[in-house]
Every structure is written in structure tokens, then in C-alpha cells.
Structure 1
Amino acid sequence: MFFSKLDSLSNAIKLISDNQRVTDIEEISIHDAHRRVLAEDIIAFHDSPPFDKSAMDGFALIAEETFGASNSAPKEFRIVDAIGAGDFSSKTVKDNEAIVIATGAPIPDGANAVLMKEYTTIDGDDLTIYSQVTPGENISPKSEDIEKGQKILDRNTFIRYQELGLIASAGYDTVKVYKKPKVKLIITGNELVEPTKEEIDKAKIINSNQFTIKAMVEDSGAICEICHAGDTFDEVKDAVLEASKDYDVIMTTGGTAISKGDVVLDVVDDLGEILFHGVAIRPGKPAGAGIVNGKMVFTFSGQPVAAMSQFDMFARKYLFEMQGREFDFHIVKRISQLKIPSQLGRTDFIRAVSDDECAKHVLNRGSGIIRSMVEANSYIIIDENDEGYQKDDLVDVVLFDSLLW
């Protein structure tokens, strides 16, 4: 099986999008909800804060009674109670009275402001103040942050630490989220061996794809398990068929081009449906995708850099959106420091080093040179309708950091 006509990148992405699936929903402890995606709207069970509270340590009093107080014209008050955090006072503040109050404690009846203790001196129950406050000063009013019954977060919101605090304040100890997709990564190739410090046998190569692709899957919020299949049709078929029963997504590396032993697309064609095979991109032209038992199958190159680029072009968006989180390339503009040739009709993802103003493509760009990805921090993207860029042209750049979950 081999592509006779290359698909455009945009059409390949559309074919994947047309077959987008979303994972099931699960309810988990809020302790485990960081960096998950909400599968429900969050409606507040409580006001936050639940009462008017002091925004700092000081003295709760009647603001109007402080008017005119200064270093040269201090005023005298009497302390009638003290409130610690988590406590309250049953007393009502009257004229020229004050209650010692801690940050977060409820404002006592009668008081309408808090004066910072830095502007006071104390002698027993006698309080001398040297500054004035206005009504409401240094008070966090009830429901300032959250109002009971209010929708405070929408379904499909990505839960960062900020959202986690808001959800907790709203009264949730569990939350409904999209399940993490389970990905089966099938590494094909009889020539592959595990990393070793020992000399490697002739015609063998260390299997690096299992580490890079697994990490990229996990960087996309999903779970990845690995198996190694040989190069025969039956071995690959058994692995793909078994994975399609228990996993949400299948990914393979190797066996996608036209050569002896490259059987992955034949397996997908035999078990299900091929969406595309061969895309007008560089690197990674032999990329493919298909459906087996309703599960998406991504077929990546055995070449390490090509496989990583193919993952970023096709699989990352699919995994994000399986979990209810939208994903698109975040394009920024940079000045190219070198001339970059390209070919009409092909989209190039070129490894580059970018800063806040400029981008310089990595010169050693072979699809098997892993170090070029280490040296880079971004892709320069050249559209299929462009023939490249001249030095000092503005180019489209995607920073690697913007691809992370």
C-alpha cells in the first residue's frame, strides 16, 4: 500500500477532525483535578467570602468616628473585644469603640471599616489612633469573589491552579472531567534495540522513538503504553487489533513508506479504513491515519525527527480535543535571519531557534537528526503556497512551549 497522490496538510487535518472523538466523563477528587478539563459547568454552592471580612490585621470600628485623626490630632477609642481568624464577636461596635480583628475574621456588627494597627498605639484597653479610614476600607465584602448560584467556570475549561482555587472556594470536593485518553504506541522494526552502553550489533539501531513519542503523548494530557511489534504483516496486525479493543488511540512508528517490510498501512487497510497516506509536508511525507474498530490510528515515520513533527502536525490536536480542550497552532511573527528555500505545493515545518524578535532555522535538518530538535525551540512554518523566505522577511513561527498541555 502506498500513496499515489499526496494530500495537503489542511485536508489531512480536516479528515482527522471529521473523525474526532471525545473521551468519557469521570468524577474525580479535586486533589487530582489540576491540569484536567472540566466536563461540567461550575455553579457556586457558597458565597465567597461568606461574610464581610477583614482584609488585614487591625481594629474594626466606625469609620466616621476616625475622621480628622492624624499624628497631630490623635483620637481615643476603647477596645471592647478581639476576634481571631475562624472566630466572631457577639458585640456591636458603638461610638469610639474598637474590636481587635485578624485578617479573614468577620466584621462585627456596627463596624464599617478596619484601621491598620500600624496607625495606632495601645495601652491596655485604651486605643489611640493617628489616621482616619473611610467606610468599607480594608473590608472584603460578602460574595466579593463568588456569589452563591453563580456560574463561575464553563464546561471545557482547562483547570490550572487558579481555577482549582476557585472551584474549591465554590464548595466542590469532587469535579467532573474528561478522562485522559489511553494511547497504545506500537513500535515496529526488527532492527531496533533498547538503549545500551555496550557496542550495538551491526544493522541495529537504538529505539529512541518509544521515549520521544511517549513523552509527547503525556505532554498532551494522555496516557501512553508501549509495545514492540516486528515487521511482518501478522505481527503488526495482531498488535493493532489487540490495541483497538482497549485503547482510545493507536500510534505506530515505522513501516509507513514503500519498501520491503513496510506493512503498517496494509494492516490499517485490512482492519479498517485509511483516511490518508502521504501528505505534502517536510519532514514526514509518509504520514498516515486511519480508523480501526472506531479508534483513530496515526502512522508515523520511523525517522525520529519526522515522527516528532508528524505528532505535532496531526496527533497533538486530536488528543487535546479528545479531552474537551481546543487546540490550534499559536502563530507568532519573527524576522528570518537567513534565506529559507521551499517548494510550492508542500508545507515545511522547519526547526528553528527563535527569540522575541528573530528566528534562525537549524541548518542540519535531516529527518533522522534528533539533535536538531534539541537545538531548536520552534518551528518556522512555510505554507504550501510560498516558495520560501528571504533574509529579514517576517515568517510564521510556532514555539515549542505553546504546544504543551
Structure 2
Amino acid sequence: MISIEEALTKVLNGVAPLGVESIDLMECTGRVLAEPLYAPHDLPPFDNAAMDGYALRVEDTRQATPDTPVSLRIVGEAAAGRGYGAPLQPGEAVLINTGAPVPAHAAAVLPLEQAQVHDQWLIISEPVKPADHIRRKGLDVQAGMKLLEAGTRLQQPHIGLLAALGLTPLKVYRRPRVAIITTGNELLPYDAPLRPDSIRDSNSVMVLQWLRAWGIPCPFRSMAPDELPALTERIEQALSEAEVVLLTGGVSVGRHDLVQAALQQIGAEVVFWRVNIKPGKPLLFARHGNQAIFGLPGNPLAVVVGLYLFVRSYLAAQEGETVERSCFLRARLNTPIHKKESRAEFLTAYLRAEPDGTLSITPTPAQGSSLLGALAQANAFLYLPAGESDYPAGTLVRALPIAPMEGYR
């Protein structure tokens, strides 16, 4: 039995990104860049007005006082998308809208609310400072600047910048496809009437929803009975359609746990079996050439823990993501815990953002690897490292979020 850290190292060892594809910027959120991005031009691409007002030459206002104001003739207008089009001459001013290009030779903008206008003349009663209310070309981004490294997962805050720079299409790594197989003679489809001695398949439905939320395609989903030929056939079919196969159930030591036997028949190499973790001890990881096979225990909470700790990390690496990110948060424990279990333990829990900005976490009243009701009450797992220990209320502990928090949007 190996530690979580050892297991994760083995899962990620030698994993390489899949091929590269070019896709439109509109489809890029959540995808991982396959090459660095550089700015093709300045942003903003020209000097522009930061406020509605009048563009003018600063030198024309140097002698202006309340007693001896300066009058500048208003000769035109610069609007967003339609500039004035001519250099500003001495003694002239141009009405300008926010975002409009500043005319050549104009060095400042006098805000509309500070302006005095009489007929077609702008009356200036004090000097205007150079560059007032002008956003200079390249203020935000300069041409040639590196914007994002290869291996960056594109998120919504990136997209506006890339759109403003016209960066489309983009080269991104292809996403891995995942096949899901749930095992067990007792399983029924989730929408089937309940029968004696049977349960509905919740694992594949649950896993599929998480994969969809992560943008991972799932071309194959099947149930397999506890029969070696049928299970072997399902695994071979799954491997023909996906880079990653995820099995639930059939990985323990009972006579109906046939996953290891099926993997042996298809020539897969079992990298490890059993992890020092609760729930999820019988977790298995295998390779079939360049493909990965995860065998997760059949209990639903063990499935979710394995999915978040190992499967998600593998998928991120295969997508080419190189920016390290911790999946854990620090939170204050609301209730004391006496941990008797020697294995590392994950408890269903409720994570909350408090008004003071800190996080607090409370274990659900019921705990158990099969308790879907407890999972439905939770938005996180509370992680307790291996070894027995007491955790008084107020202890800072690690939390693994699996759903949005109350008090945080």
C-alpha cells in the first residue's frame, strides 16, 4: 500500500500531452495553450481619450488665467470609430468622445464638465497639464510582449485580451477522451425501475457530469457484469475509443472483483494497487501502451476522491497544463475531530466563506464511503493526513472543494 503522494507521482510519471489542434478563440475557454502567445500590436493601438471633453494643444493654454482666459476655436469632433483626421493647429480644439483617437499634435483632453464653451469657442482659464485624460498607445500591452506561456489553461479573464489583439485561431493541446465502465451484476440504468437485489448505476452518471464540467469528452459509457469475458470485452472496446479508461468497482479482493484479471488478459501493466487512503484504499492504476486505466472502488465517495486526486491530475497533465495549482484550500475547522484511522482520510464536509474572508469547514453529520446523501450535503472533502490525531475546533485544515461555496460566487 502506497501513500497518496507516491501514487500521484506514479500516475503522472511520463505522461505527455496529446496532439495539437487549432481552434477559434470563441471555443478556447478551458483549453491549454500549446505555444506561447505574443502581442501582435500595441494595446491600445493609438492614443485615445479617457473622458469625453476637448482635445487641445497644451502650449495654447500656458498663459491662461481666470483674468486673462484663452479662447480656442472648436473646429470639429473626434468620435469613437471616427477620428478627426487632421493635425490640430495652434489655437484649435476638437470635441472628443471617450475612446476616440486623439488628433495629432493634441497633448491633453479637457473634461467636458470642466469646459466653458461660448458659440464655437472653448474658454480656458488655467493651464492644462500634458497628457491629462489621454490613454497612450501601448499603455496596456506593447507589441512583441509575451502574454501567456505554453501550458497555460485559458480562462475567462484571458479571453478579452486575446480578442482585442485578434489572436485567433489558437493552437491548443487536444483534450483526452475518457471511457467509463461501471462493474457489477447488481447495476441497473439510472432511469430503470428498481428490482430486487439491484441498485441503480449512480457512479457513471456522477463521473460523467464532472467530466463534462471539466470539458472532457466521454465517447464511451457502459455497464459490465461480473463476468471476465464480458468485462474484458468492454475494456478493449473502451480502449479503442479513448485515451483514458475509468472503471468503478471490481478492484477489491472478492471473487467477483475481476478487473485485475481482465487487465492481465489484455496485456495491461498494473502500476499500483491499493493506496493508504480512506475512502479508496483498493484504487488501481494501470497502463496499456500510452493509455491509462484507473480502477476506482465501487463506493461512490471513493469514486469522487479518486476522481479528484488522481484522474483529474492525470487529465490536466495530458492536456498539457504546466501551471502548478493546488486543489486544496485552508479552512478553519468548526467542530473537533478525533481521528482514529491510520490512513489518510477524506470526510464529506461543508465549506463556507465567512464574512471576514476566511474559510470554515464542518463535516457532514453522517460519514461513510457509500453515503450519497452525505455527499449531496457536502461541497468539499475535509482532508486529514495519515496517522491518528486530535483536531480541536479552530484548527486550520485542508479542504478539497468539489462544488461552489456558500458566501462565494
TM-score, scaled relative to structure 1:
0.90
Q: Please name the residue that 2:290 is paired with.
A: 294
Cα shift at 1:26: 0.7
* Secondary structure of 2:94's aligned partner: strand
Q: What residue ranges of structure 2 are gaps of 5+ in the alignment?
A: 353-357
Relative distance call for 1:163 and 1:236 in structure 2 (3 A) is same
Cα shift at 1:123: 4.1
**Deviation by residue 1:106-131 (Cα, 9 ceiling, x = unmatched):** 21122101111122244442223466
Relative distance call for 1:219 and 1:320 in structure 2 (3 A) is farther
Q: Please name the residue that 1:133 is paired with.
A: 128
Between 60-69 and 272-281, the greater mean CA deviation after superposition? 60-69
Q: Please name the residue that 1:382 is paired with.
A: 384
The answer on 1:373 being equivalent to 2:370 is no
Q: What residue ranges of structure 1 are gaps of 5+ in the alignment?
A: 1-5
CA separation in 2, counterparts of 1:46 and 1:400?
Answer: 40
Q: Could you tell me which of 16, 29, 52 is aligned with 1:21?
A: 16
Between 225-234 and 324-333, the greater mean CA deviation after superposition? 324-333
Relative distance call for 1:155 and 1:70 in structure 2 (3 A) is farther
Q: Please name the residue that 1:331 is paired with.
A: 329
Contact 2:192-2:200 at 8 Å conserved across structures:
no
The answer on 1:309 being equivalent to 2:311 is no
* Secondary structure of 1:224's aligned partner: coil
* Secondary structure of 1:234's aligned partner: helix
Relative distance call for 1:100 and 1:205 in structure 2 (3 A) is same
Cα shift at 1:74: 5.5
Q: Could you tell me which of 253, 268, 272 is aligned with 1:276?
A: 272
Q: After the TM superposition, which residues 74-223 of structure 1 pair with which residues of structure 2 at under 5 Å, given as runs?
A: 75-129=70-124, 133-196=128-191, 198=193, 200-223=194-217
Contact 1:220-1:320 at 8 Å conserved across structures:
no
**Deviation by residue 1:29-84 (Cα, 9 ceiling, x = unmatched):** 11111221111111222121222111222211023434576888764321012122
Cα shift at 1:327: 4.2
Q: Over aligned residue pairs, what C-alpha RMSD do you find? A: 2.3
Contact 1:120-1:130 at 8 Å conserved across structures:
no
Q: After the TM superposition, which residues 50-65 of structure 1 pair with which residues of structure 2 at under 5 Å, given as runs?
A: 50-65=45-60
Contact 1:268-1:291 at 8 Å conserved across structures:
no
* Secondary structure of 1:239's aligned partner: helix
Letter in 1 for 2:300: P
CA separation in 1, counterparts of 2:13 and 2:217?
Answer: 23
Q: Please name the residue that 1:228 is paired with.
A: 223
Cα shift at 1:193: 1.5
Relative distance call for 1:386 and 1:329 in structure 2 (3 A) is farther
Letter in 2 for 1:214: L
Contact 1:352-1:362 at 8 Å conserved across structures:
yes
Cα shift at 1:380: 1.7
Q: Please name the residue that 2:40 is paired with.
A: 45
**Deviation by residue 1:132-183 (Cα, 9 ceiling, x = unmatched):** 5311111111111222222221111221222112222333221011111110
Between 359-368 and 329-338, the greater mean CA deviation after superposition? 329-338
CA separation in 1, counterparts of 2:146 and 2:98?
Answer: 28
Between 265-274 and 69-78, the greater mean CA deviation after superposition? 69-78
* Secondary structure of 1:223's aligned partner: coil
Q: Please name the residue that 1:264 is paired with.
A: 259
CA separation in 2, counterparts of 1:130 and 1:117?
Answer: 14
CA separation in 2, counterparts of 1:20 and 1:342?
Answer: 36
Letter in 1 for 2:276: A
Contact 1:338-1:361 at 8 Å conserved across structures:
no
Letter in 2 for 1:120: A
Q: Please name the residue that 1:318 is paired with.
A: 314
Cα shift at 1:195: 3.0
Between 267-276 and 61-70, the greater mean CA deviation after superposition? 61-70
Relative distance call for 1:109 and 1:246 in structure 2 (3 A) is same
CA separation in 1, counterparts of 2:82 and 2:247?
Answer: 61
CA separation in 2, counterparts of 1:162 and 1:131?
Answer: 41
Contact 2:345-2:385 at 8 Å conserved across structures:
yes
* Secondary structure of 1:371's aligned partner: helix
Cα shift at 1:17: 1.4
Contact 1:115-1:132 at 8 Å conserved across structures:
no
Equivalences, count: 396
Contact 2:351-2:360 at 8 Å conserved across structures:
yes
Relative distance call for 1:72 and 1:201 in structure 2 (3 A) is farther
CA separation in 2, counterparts of 1:402 and 1:329?
Answer: 14
Contact 1:337-1:358 at 8 Å conserved across structures:
no
Relative distance call for 1:106 and 1:252 in structure 2 (3 A) is same
CA separation in 2, counterparts of 1:257 and 1:90?
Answer: 77
Contact 1:338-1:360 at 8 Å conserved across structures:
no
* Secondary structure of 1:276's aligned partner: strand
TM-score, scaled relative to structure 2:
0.89
Q: Please name the residue that 2:360 is paired with.
A: 358
**Deviation by residue 1:309-328 (Cα, 9 ceiling, x = unmatched):** 11112111111121122443
* Secondary structure of 1:114's aligned partner: strand
Letter in 2 for 1:236: L
